[in-house]
Amino acid sequence: MNEKVYMAPNPGTPCKGVEFDPEICNGCNQCIEVCRTDVLMPNPEKGKPPIVLYPDECWFGGCCVAACPRPGAIKMLHPLNQNISVIWRRKETGEYFRLGMKNPPPPNTRPPF
């Protein structure tokens, strides 16, 4: 068994999953140990952040961020469709609204057509 085995990343997509800050991350690989979907692999260079090998497989559970002993080393990059800070604007008045705001506008009771 002298054959070499290589890991190949998924083709590039808009999904990133997580992002590492190389200034804070010390390459302890705690995030790799707890990742439920194995999207990360250890960096071959000692002390460097892990490599996000399969970003599309991320479930965005955040266990990697929670397990990191260095706050700020990992940032979860939720896709736009999972972002709950939705903002919308009323055409007539130009007012902006967002989910969870105090005193939201009354619901629209007008029929669609």
State pLDDT tens for residues 46-104.
999 999 888 888 888 889 999 999 999 999 887 766 665 667 777 888 887 776 677 77
Do residues 49 and 1 make contact, with C-beta atoms less than 8 angstroms apart?
no
Our count of domains for the chain comes to: 1
Longest dimension (CA), the chain: 72
Whether the Cβ atoms of residue 51 and residue 29 lie closer than 8 Å to each other: no
Residue 100 is assigned to a structural domain of this protein: no
In a domain, 68, yes or no: yes
Structural domain boundaries, residue 27: 17-79
Would you say residue 109 lies in a domain?
no
Q: Would 108 be classed as within a structural domain?
A: no
Domain-embedded: residue 90: no
Write the CA distances from 20 to 2, 70, 83, 97, integer angstroms: 34, 11, 20, 32
Asked, for residue 97, whether it belongs to a domain, the answer is no
In a domain, 95, yes or no: no
Question: Residue 73 is part of a domain; what is its CATH number?
Answer: 3.30.70.20
Over residues 25-62, the pLDDT tens digits come to 999 999 999 999 889 999 999 999 999 888 888 888 88
> How many other CB atoms sit within 10 Å of the CB of residue 87?
9
Is the pTM higher than 0.85? The answer reads no
